[in-house]
Amino acid sequence: MPQPVLYNLSLAELEELMRAWGQQPFRAKQLYRQLYLNLTNDPAAMSDLPLPLRVRLHHEAQLDPLELVQSQQADDGLTRKALFRVSNGALIESVLMIYADRVTVCVSTQAGCAMGCDFCATGRMGLLRNLSCGEIVAQVLWACRELRAWQVKLAATPHTPIMSTGEADTQWWGSESGAFSERVTHQVNRVTNVVFMGMGEPFANYERWWAAVERLHDPNGFNLGARNMTVSTVGVVPGILRLAEAPLPINLAISLHAPDDQLRSTMMPINRRYPLAELLAATREYTERSGRRVSFEYVLLHGRNDHPYQAMALAKLLRGQSISKGPPLLCHVNLIPWNPVPGVPLSRSERSRVHEFQQILRDYGVACTIRIERGASIAAACGQLAGH
Catalytically annotated residue among 133, 331, 368, 382: 382
Active site residue 368: no
Q: 188 Cβ partners below 8 Å, 6+ apart? A: 98, 99, 100, 101, 102, 103
| Stretch in the footprint of ligand SF4 (CB under 6 A) among 49-57, 63-71, 138-146, 198-206 | 198-206
Query: 159 labelled as ligand-binding?
Result: no
Q: What mask, x for binding ligand SF4 by CB under 6 A, covers residues 349 to 388?
A: ----------------------------------x-----
Q: What pairs with residue 297 in β-bridges? A: 255, 334
Q: Is 5 left (phi over 0), alpha (psi -120 to 50) or beta?
A: beta
Instruction: Confirm if 365 and 329 have CB atoms less than 8 A apart.
Output: no
Query: 331 labelled as ligand-binding?
Result: no
Return the amino acid letter for 3.
Answer: Q
Catalytically annotated residue among 15, 60, 93, 182: 93
**Minimum distance, C-beta of residue 232 to ligand SF4, in the bound complex (Å):** 7
Return the amino acid letter for 257.
Answer: H
Instruction: Confirm if 18 and 27 have CB atoms less than 8 A apart.
Output: yes
Q: Which of 23, 41, 104, 122 binds ligand SF4 (CB under 6 A)?
A: 122
**Minimum distance, C-beta of residue 330 to ligand SF4, in the bound complex (Å):** 23
H/E/C letters for each residue in 267-309? HCCHHHHCCHHHHHHHHHHHHHHHCCCEEEEEEEECCCCCCHH
Query: 144 labelled as ligand-binding?
Result: no
| Stretch in the footprint of ligand SF4 (CB under 6 A) among 183-191, 195-203, 312-320, 364-372 | 195-203
Q: Which is nearer to ligand SF4, 141 or 253 (CB)?
A: 253
- SS3 state of residue 334: strand
Q: Which of 75, 201, 306, 373 binds ligand SF4 (CB under 6 A)?
A: 201
Active site residue 382: yes
Determine if 254 is a binding residue for ligand SF4 (CB under 6 A). Answer: no
Q: Which of residues 102-121 bind ligand SF4 (CB under 6 A)?
A: 113, 115-117, 120
> What is the spatial distance between Cα 71 and Cα 138, in angstroms, rounded to a whole number?
15
**Minimum distance, C-beta of residue 198 to ligand SF4, in the bound complex (Å):** 8
Determine if 4 is a binding residue for ligand SF4 (CB under 6 A). Answer: no
Give the total of residues touching ligand SF4 (CB under 6 A): 12
Interhelix angle 237-244/276-290, rounded to 10 degrees, is: 10
The whole-angstrom distance between residue 304's C-alpha and the CA centroid of its chain comes to: 26
- SS3 state of residue 195: strand
Query: 257 labelled as ligand-binding?
Result: yes
Instruction: Confirm if 370 and 74 have CB atoms less than 8 A apart.
Output: no
Nearest alpha carbon to residue 27 among 65, 58, 57, 63: 57
User: Which of the residues are catalytic?
Assistant: 93, 382
- Please report, as ranges, the residues that interact with ligand SF4 according to CB under 6 A: 113, 115-117, 120, 122-123, 199-201, 234, 383
